[in-house]
Chain A
Amino acid sequence: MPEKSLEDFIRQHRSAFEEEGPPPGLWTQLEKELHPPKKNKVIQMLGRHWLKAAAILVLVVNSVMIIQFLQMKKAQSLKNISPELQEASMYYTTQIEQRLEAIRVYPASVLGLDSAARKELELRNDTYQLLEAELIQNPGNERIKAAMVRYYQLKLDLLDKILDELRTKQPVRQKQSEYEREI
């Protein structure tokens, strides 16, 4: 039977235009998406944020390399900046370390110094680090070089005086004899 209009025909036969539903496998796929197989959380996160992870890795590697480079530069700097100072430094460092070794033999009660004073006696104390930093920043500055040498000399004098006093206070031990033999 002829129909009046397309709309009317479609409305009257609406259900006939409907086809079967989706294939049954579609729900299985959806279910998989709802419950993706559980991967290791770290792998999942890396998968999702691989770009961020790569960027962080690059930053970390760069930072480590920069720190290593700076440390290496600092270690080499004194030698490069002033070879003659390096020579003096080696001499004084050996001498100072020998005195410090000898002082460490005495018990704290005999030494009579608190921890802050003992720390100050060490070779690489705050003054030393300050001078070293200044020298790296101003490699050609003769005044700083002279101050560094003066620092070594004063430290050596001080340590000698302490050792003299200790020898007076406490009878000479085996280790002190060794020290004396060395010098």
Chain B
Amino acid sequence: MQALANNLNNTTITDHLVSRCKKGDVHAFRELYNAYSAAMYNICLRMTGNTADAEDTLQEAFMQVFRNIERLENAGSVTAWIKRIVVNHCLSHLRKKKVYFEEVDNIDVGDEDGAVDEDSFAWTVAAIRDAIHVLPHGYRTVLNLYIFEEYSHKEIAAMLDISESTVKTQYMRAKDKVRQIVKQKNAIR
């Protein structure tokens, strides 16, 4: 009951905040920015791979959010809406940097959540983060969008304008690559 009350309360606050933003209230813009900038900055950082590009992309994305918020029909979907704008900006940034998301020949990738990681070894946050950081842009983008941003393969395929099977293949390759890198690091230690 308390959770429901909190949820309703949050929804009302969000509705009110979005409504103030739609009226061009700069204080409301700041509140919206404070509420979402950290999470969105992390998306930018993961997607672009460096702080300078992440900051630029975040700034551009938030300007679009502020300029277009009056088009947002459902205030309840503001998080997904902002996240999508941020992701789109990151993708255009990558395209500007000549990162192409091309079709690849299908390989038998099996079940996407299957036993690829059956070998048990010590995952660590730092090791995974470092491994993802050195992945080729295409792999890193697919892996980030799937694992961290929780988009489906179908949604990712639409965003990158490639087939769903290519997304699955790229994702499995990216995961293998991460495993290899972390394994190598563990072996060195």
A residues bordering B, Cβ < 8 Å? 2-7, 9-10, 13, 16-23, 26-27, 29-31, 33-35
Contacts and interface: CB of A to CB of B under 8 A. Distances in A.
Q: Is chain B's interface secondary structure helix, strand, loop, or mixed overall?
A: helix
Given A18-B42, A27-B33, A35-B26, A3 B120 contact: yes
Interface of B: 26, 29-30, 33, 37-39, 41-42, 45, 54-55, 58-59, 62-63, 66, 113, 116-117, 120-123, 125, 128-129, 147-148, 175, 178-179
Indicate the member of B39, B117, B129 with the most A CB atoms within 10 Å. B117
Contacts of A23: 55
Contacts, number: 74
B147 A6 contact: yes
Contacts of B42: 17-19, 21
A29 to B, nearest CB: 6
Contact of B120 (A2, A30, A35): A2
Contacts of B117: 3-6
A13 B125 contact: yes
B62 A5 contact: no
B75 to A, nearest CB: 20
Contacts of A29: 59
Given A5-B116, A7-B147, A27-B30, A20 B59 contact: no
Nearest to B39: A18
